[in-house]
Structure 1
Amino acid sequence: MTDKKKNKTRIAAVGDIHVRETDSGKLKEFFTQVSEKADVLLLCGDLTDTGRVEEAEVLAEELRACSIPVVAVLGNHDYERENHEEIRKTLVKANVNMLDGDSVVFGDVGFAGVKGFGGGFDKGMLGMFGEQMIKSFVQEAVDEQLKLDGALARLDSDYADIKKVAVLHYAPIKATVVGEPEQIFPFLGSSRLAEPLNRRGVLAAFHGHAHIGTLEGETSKGVKVFNVSKPILAQQGYDPPFYVLEV
């Protein structure tokens, strides 16, 4: 009899690790433990605390303790000082698979990733109307939606029967930001990100950003969504704070 467990991919995920320059040596044990419990690690944005390249260099050094593939997207904190390209390059040199509208495959699981953007959810989603500044804000969310859809479409065209997982920073649904003040929901994510998840048959999506949101939710089509922000995982009793899903 075949052991189906052998065909499972264990995905560990965490967001909002907010690495600082003073964190040198503090994360090696964390990444060692992740490597023992999972086959792939997802880092869901806000990799650095203030968007400094030096913080990314600390993270790159800490990741030397990680012996499994790492897939990551950037978050809003990583854009804070307009150093996001240097941060990306620093982590790519450390063998991190940085996604921004593209994908990577390990075994029979394909990971598509974007940062995402805000704009609100469901009936409260901001429309493309009014001043140019508002239109530009909405266009950013649309652009992220299209990048995610393109990455998922390429997985469909290049691989047969691939299991698709989305890696985001901003939330694609309202359910996983519940707990945050409702006034800031429009800045925590956008329902536009859920559309490609539903249409492309994504198995699960992981995001961060909402530090006091809700761990689990699902899209209107039943796609599982996990808010794996580090503070949420810690509050939920995950020690060390990472979430593992077998697919």
Structure 2
Amino acid sequence: MPKSAQCLRFAAVGDTHVTKDSAGQLRAFFKQASEAADALLLCGDLTDYGTADEAKVLADELGGVSIPMVAVLGNHDYESGTPEVVTEILTEAGVRVLDGEACEIEGVGIAGTKGFAGGFGRASLGAWGEAAIKSFVQEALHEAMKLESALAKLRTPRRIALLHYSPIAGTVQGEPAEIFPFLGSSRLEEPLLRYPVDAVFHGHAHRGTPEARTISGVPVFNVARPLLLRTRPDQPAFKLFELPMDAENDRGG
């Protein structure tokens, strides 16, 4: 599909959960995304256990991608305690891995961080009581601050936020209510209200809802691959998002 001067196309997907046995299973999928879009956004849980072997398989599967690739890691990518190894291998494969940083692709700014859990709205966990609870909440606050810092660096008229955990409850609807607090945090929504974006992409909630909106009306897309496979079986398991390049257009178009 030829590039358009009027819009930039993003193919977004998360939760590929690549294992050592995934070799050859995703190469055609990623190539299809590459042919459909101008940039590929990867929303975490790219590997299953966060090992070097899995990251090398993923890097090889991405070998056919000919467009810019931007990613954040997910909780599964941290499982083995060496997320820096996953990041290094993906970086060598041409993926820009964001962890509280920002980058720009053809005039569109992208701010990314993993995010964290803690719940939504009045059900958000508060920093009160045991030290372990306070530490948990501090991690959520830290991730929100990283997102805000990344957003604040952007000077582009068009902006995208890339996460693994959800910033709103709307896109985790469909998951068991008991695990809502572990699927995201409203604290991630707060920077999005101060620094408006055109769209937010996240994964993590495999049984959630594909799309909802922030308080300010910004579209939030849950692009967990298992969710897209189940809800859109007749379409490729990535979200194709077109962003008009005319800065005068309304944000979120």
Q: Tell me the TM-score normalised to structure 1 length.
A: 0.95
Provide the residue aligned with 2:80 in structure 1: 81
Matches within 5 A, 1:157-176: 159=155, 161-176=156-171
2:92 corresponds in structure 1 to 93
In the other structure, the counterpart of 1:231 is 226
Q: Which residue of 2 aligns with 1:242?
A: 238
Q: Which residue number corresponds to residue 29 of structure 1?
A: 28
* 1:210 corresponds to 2:210: no
Equivalent position of 1:180 in the other structure: 175
Return 5+ residue gaps in structure 1 as ranges. none
Give yes or no for contact 1:73–1:100 (8 Å, CA) kept in 2: yes
Specify which of 192, 208, 215 is matched with residue 197 of structure 1. 192
* SS, match of residue 226 in structure 1: strand
Whole-angstrom distance in 2 between the partners of 1:9 and 1:242? 16
The answer as to whether partners of 1:177 and 1:212 remain within 8 angstroms in 2 is: yes
User: Contact 1:46–1:209 (CA<8 Å) still a contact in 2?
Assistant: yes
CA distance in 2, matches of 1:27, 1:118: 29
Which residue is equivalent to 2:122?
123
Once the two structures are TM-superposed, the CA of residue 133 in structure 1 deviates from its matched residue by 0.5
3-state SS, counterpart of residue 91 of structure 2 = helix
Aligned match of 1:56: 55
For the 8 Å contact 1:32–1:66, the answer to whether it is kept is yes
Q: Report the CA distance between 1:162 and its aligned residue.
A: 2.4
CA RMSD of aligned residues (A): 0.9
One-letter amino acid matched to 2:116: F
Task: Please report how far the alpha carbon of residue 200 of structure 1 lies from its aligned counterpart in structure 2 after TM superposition.
Answer: 0.3
How much does 1:111 deviate? 0.6
Distance between the aligned counterparts of 1:218 and 1:166, measured in 2?
A: 13
Q: Please list, as runs of the form range in 1=range in 2, the aligned pairs for 1:127-142 lying within 5 A after superposition.
A: 127-142=126-141
TM-score, normalised via structure 2 length: 0.93
Q: Mark the runs of 5 or more structure 2 residues left unpaired by the alignment.
A: 244-253
Letter in 2 for 1:215: P
What amino acid is the match of 1:50? Y
The equivalent residue for 2:145 is 146
Partner-residue secondary structure (3-state), 2:5 = helix
SS in 2 for 1:9: strand
Give CA deviations for 1:66-111 in whole Å, capped at 9, x if unaligned. Answer: 0111100000001111021101101000010000000110112111
Which 4+ stretches in 1 moved above 4 angstroms? none
For the residues of structure 2 that align with 1:107 and 1:65, how far apart are their CA atoms?
Answer: 21
* Alpha-carbon displacement from aligned partner over 1:130-173 (angstroms, at most 9, x marks no partner): 11110000000000000000000011xxx3x4211000000000
Residue identity opposite 2:188 in structure 1: L
Q: CA deviation at 1:7?
A: 2.5
Matched, 1:13 2:8: no
Q: State how far apart, in whole Å, the 1-side matches of 2:218 and 2:126 are.
A: 24
**1:226 partner letter:** F
Letter in 2 for 1:43: L
